[in-house]
Structure 1
Amino acid sequence: MLHTVLRRRAGGESVEQIQPDLIIPTGKRKGQSPSVASIYRALSPNTPSVRHTPRPVEQAHTDVAALQAGDVPRSRPNATALSP
């Protein structure tokens, strides 16, 4: 979802315009759209889930820029999949 938000924001759309098109894939709110506040929180560099992972927002920005340039980013291993 983060890549979608960043790509569409780069195209000039606001978070409020993007939010209805996003769908939560799992969990208690599966099938619903995330709140606008949740989207902004995910984009914030101070979010705990962002602080403890290797800069996902910056990586998403890099991936979006690569896609816009016509490059296809390599897939990266999921950090949770590598944990013991």
Structure 2
Amino acid sequence: MYDPSGPGRLLFAFFAAMAETERENIRESTLEGLDAAARKGKHGGRPPVITDDMLHTVLRRRANGESVEQIQPDLIIATGKRKGQAPSVASIYHALAEHAKQQAYPEAVAQAHTDFADLHGADDIPRPRRAGA
């Protein structure tokens, strides 16, 4: 039972400090694990659904005037849990947005990669995968 005066207050403050210390230790361990995995070339998250070939097809067909909704049924996912199915329209739009961002700001993306490598002091840090890669 929490007693706001005397020893109860001191005990509560002690347990709060211990919990905060444990949380910080867990956070540091998690970040170290993610950093070690990145150095080994392993990245978390789902693999991209839209491959470079799919993105190229979408870009070519959109240049010919087709909509994403018309293109979507003709695309087939090659790997993963949804193998053999068409990607969602949202996935296609997301890949197009990432592609547009890469095209619009290539020097900013390259600078961000350089800054990240400098920050961590290692040249062997793998670069993030491009959308659809």
> Which interval holds the TM-score relative to the shorter structure?
0.5 to 0.7
Q: 1:53 to 1:28 in 2, by over 3 A?
A: same
CA distance in 2, matches of 1:56, 1:19: 17
Partner of residue 17, structure 1: 70
CA contact (8 A) 2:98 2:131 kept: no
CA distance in 2, matches of 1:54, 1:26: 17
2:89 is the alignment partner of 1:36: yes
Amino acid at match of 2:81: K
Counterparts of 1:1-84 in structure 2 under 5 Å? 1-45=54-98
CA contact (8 A) 2:72 2:87 kept: yes
Listed as ranges, the gaps of 5+ residues in structure 2 are: 1-53, 100-108, 110-126
Listed as ranges, the gaps of 5+ residues in structure 1 are: 58-77, 79-84
Q: 1:33 to 1:54 in 2, by over 3 A?
A: closer
Larger Rg: 2
Which stretches of structure 1, 4 residues or more, deviate above 6 A after TM superposition? 54-57
Q: CA RMSD for the aligned pairs?
A: 2.9
CA distance in 2, matches of 1:38, 1:55: 14
Identity %: 74
The C-alpha deviation readout for 1:18-58, integer Å capped at 9, x for no partner, is 00000000000000000000000011138xxxx6658779x
TM-score (norm 1): 0.54
Q: 1:8 to 1:53 in 2, by over 3 A?
A: farther
TM-score (norm 2): 0.35
CA distance in 1, matches of 2:76, 2:98: 22
Q: Looking at secondary structure, tell me which structure has more helix per residue.
A: 2
